Structure 1
């Protein structure tokens, strides 16, 4: 009996070990963990002074901060920290000025890369380090400024002859959602830094390789790849914890909603859920009839989308403390949705149903909207009431060319 008990214990232990191994194999391991797991990767920072561009999303699967992992590792010396929009700790509202300070835990100086006059590490800061590391979760939306911070920092690293390392992270949308017009460089800004579509379907590491090559930076770029991530894998399938990259991206799928409504939010003529409990998931205003508006959107059979009427009162931002009516967006199939196309349908419906509200002019934000779109043609076509599918057809050639451009930089199949 005792012998049988021992055998059963061994069998159960073996099953448990297999289950743990299977779980590990099925999970995505982010670049930050692969940096320390792989001896070849670790050589990139051994004996080096390291600078780190990060925010709260820079963590491993056990919520250990990349800051703390580097600060506590004997292979390198963490000498500088750089915070993007929203700050190193993610405690600033979008667009707010972020100042320089010191990290209370590590006593490492923090230099702001947003609202401080600097959009990338300055030459005097780069003198403090040998290697510049980037570790931030992206959301696959061009106007979201973290990729602009990355590209501007790559430029400065190249000028200073510093190694630039990207600790790679997943595209939460799965790496296949490529939609919207390719940016025209006449509209280049910090919410549109390079000639990529509105959603580009690339990880930060892949995008860094593309930019380094196409912009002819000749930077010493190294991408520490993830393990286990495959194209088509949505963020909720990775097994990785989601940490909001900014205040209004609380869940992984908010990235898709942001790609749908974030652009029109630049106009400040409707509320897209910011200031309410559903950031980027609603479109509402005091003058919208939610029932009629929802019926119109539902009749358009927008791929991967459903809608319901909603009424609410935002606590801050556009139409603060006013009663609003509009529609609540639902992504019914995240693999079918075309975010930019869905946004075009919504803006077109508003413009046709409420022409007197002058959606594209009333907020006085024409320039910001055009920069977000990467062109002035989208606004012009919508104001002319050009059919949405004709607008969609207009930017397909640019998308097809981009798909060919990006192919050789894809690290994951």
Structure 2
């Protein structure tokens, strides 16, 4: 269990406190006090698909609020340990979920670093500071891009390098391990385990530009969703002559063993006054559950001393699965068809958002932010937003959010 590893890490910290080293233990932290309002009767805002609680047509103070602390201890030039714990809205408030980072770091040379333990899942450009609202202009990371994959850390090993040149800086990062988090919605909760995770990130920074790309593979592990076995048992009762494909389709609703492939490319420009950032990703599971999906975002902004203004656009474009229909329609086959069709298209989303964000840095360590989002949902049963009822239709809605961010 990871909690045992966390206890070992605490023991290391305690031992470190009893001896004298060159560098003392460093304690830092961050906090966000946030509020959101969604003008929908059926859908509530949430930052990613793991969140299981939210409010519609009233102010929600829990959707963006969080607090985190980080402990760093450097023993010498080569060895250090890091731990980070974040409290925010989640299905599970166990120590395992609260622990975002817990790793030992070894740097044999100034250019190379090896980390073992729980490290940041380096899928996205904003992965290292995704929970730190003070680090970006918007009130939250783009949901269509960052909200689809709730996993923020990985238990395993990471090897990174940094190489400086006259033209810029080239960085590499390789990682392997496993991770898990929840997918949830109205009366639905499933722990999505990703095992045999293997990924690589390459980035090149020059002048005011950053070019970054990531490729990651993983296999879905754990247990099937709760609806799988009832659907399979129902499909087995349907005579093949009236629905030849039903059993094969039912078996396709089991995601366990599915191979996932994720590819991402990002570009960032920042000269201090003007900035722009964009990422585009492609996900392929080579299965009926998730054939292929494209998502991305772009935002541009300008800073005036302590004020910033940003315009953004984000989207997810998924391909719906066309579930074969029974040759003979009965009440029972219609019920099975609805269950199969919903299960096979549960992860398919078609959504876009236009956002306007403003930020005021009224102190060196604090910022106030306001954001308005115009969200367009092209498919029914949307999974990015939190449903407050069993089904939800297509809808265009507005999300207003405000945050007060602090780093210490």
Q: Which has the higher strand share?
A: 2
Q: Which has the higher helix share?
A: 1
Q: TM-score range by the shorter chain?
A: under 0.3
Question: Structure 1 length normalisation: TM-score?
Answer: 0.25
Question: Structure 2 length normalisation: TM-score?
Answer: 0.25
